[in-house]
Structures are given as structure tokens and as C-alpha cells.
Chains A and B, each alone.
Chain A
Amino acid sequence: DAGVIQSPRHEVTEMGQEVTLRCKPISGHDYLFWYRQTMMRGLELLIYFNNNVPIDDSGMPEDRFSAKMPNASFSTLKIQPSEPRDSAVYFCASSHQLNTEAFFGQGTRLTVV
């Protein structure tokens, strides 16, 4: 397996624009996580899914953020409208079980100008 695949690797967008980040988890993994990493706040869990169903979205900062998992092999994290303070590295991770190793993608570095 190629591991968790995220796209794009880098995204630069203007304030107010919609941004969509994409993730393909490892085949067979039942859990998918979206994290945000910033210098100020470190690594924060935004939301996670189990078998495509959102389980905990308490980390989603506000209504501008939304995440979907239409099938077992694809998930999106959308920010609309984007703001400069959303600039961060966004990671997707997947795992077979909740307490087993989470495999991370290489992240998407988002810059909102």
C-alpha cells in the first residue's frame, strides 16, 4: 500500500476563497483522522471518522470547516471561506483500530493570504 495520500501538498489561496483538502486512507483502515498543526497550537485533532461516519468533530474550529467521507477510500476537509489564521499544515491519518498505530499522510501546507 502506498500509505495515506493527501493532496495537494501545498496550497496557497486568497482570503475568502474555498479550499478543499483531500485524503485517501490506507485500504482496510476503519478510522480516519484530520489534524491541524501550527506553531502556536501544535497538533490538534479536528475530526475523526469510523467506517465513514463522523464520530467526534469537537475539534472543528468553526462552521467554516466541514469534513466528509463519502466512501472508505476518500475524505475531504473543506474551508469556506478561508481566512489567514487557517494557515497551517493539515494532516490526514488512518488506522485499523482506534488505539493502534495511526499512519499519517505527508500533510498539506495551506497558506491563506
Chain B
Amino acid sequence: AQTVTQSQPEMSVQEAETVTLSCTYDTSESNYYLFWYKQPPSRQMILVIRQEAYKQQNATENRFSVNFQKAAKSFSLKISDSQLGDTAMYFCAFQAAGNKLTFGGGTRVLVKP
């Protein structure tokens, strides 16, 4: 079974600064996908970024980027130029090809003005 670990329960960052969230996973699969989802206080789960394991290039989406280290089974999320609207829970998720999503426990991010 796959497991996803987010070791930081909570992080705070000043507006306009950068914060990095860590995520590690355990799998024996070679073909899989990794995701970061954001859950703001409104409760809606929103996809932030997606990475295919076979791609070496790190995915980026505007101010969000990942550092994907396949050998280390690490998938961290960097939020640059943090904005107040980035305050939310962030969930890392793993999905083997043809299989279901497994979520980590989440990291609460608080952006301070």
C-alpha cells in the first residue's frame, strides 16, 4: 500500500515571502502521479499542481512549483510571493497508474500580512 507523509502540520509565512511544504511517499510502483491540492476555509478542494513521475522536469503553475526527487520519493511544493489568499490546508496526494488517490495528512499554511 502507498503512504504519503507530510511532516509539517503547520507553517506560517509573511506575505510576499516564499514557503516550501514537504511531502514524501512510499511506493514500489514506477508509473504514478503526484498532486498538490489546496483546501481554503471555504472547504473546496482545488488542484494546485500535478506531476507525472516519468517526467523529469518539475511542474510549475504560476507562483507554485514543485521539487520532484524521484529517487528520494520526495515531492515538495514551493509557494513564491505568498499572498493572503494562499492561506489554506495543502494536501499532497499520490496515485499509481490506474489506481486511487492517497492523500497525506495535510499542512496548514498561514500567510501573515
The interface of chain A, by Cβ under 8 A from chain B, is: 33, 42-43, 45, 48, 56, 89, 91, 93, 98-99, 101-104, 106-107, 109
Contact = CB atoms under 8 A, between A and B. Distances in A.
B95 A99 contact: yes
B98 A42 contact: no
Nearest to B106: A42
A109 B42 CA distance: 12
Interface residues of B, number: 21
Contacts, number: 40
Contacts of B35: 101
Contacts of A103: 47
A106 B101 contact: no
B94 to A, nearest CB: 11
A42 B97 contact: no
A48 B100 CA distance: 8
Interface of B: 33, 35, 42-47, 50, 91, 95, 97-106
A101 B45 contact: no
Nearest to B45: A104
Given A43-B91, A106-B42, A98 B99 contact: yes
Nearest to A89: B43
B1 to A, nearest CB: 11
B100 A45 contact: yes
A98 B100 CA distance: 7
A78 B2 CA distance: 28
Contacts of B91: 43
8 contacts: A42-B103, A43-B91, A43-B103, A93-B45, A99-B97, A102-B47, A104-B44, A109-B43
B98 A101 contact: no
Contact of B50 (A33, A48, A101, A106): A101
Closest 3 CB pairs of A and B: A104-B45, A43-B103, A101-B47
B100 A106 contact: no
A52 B76 CA distance: 35
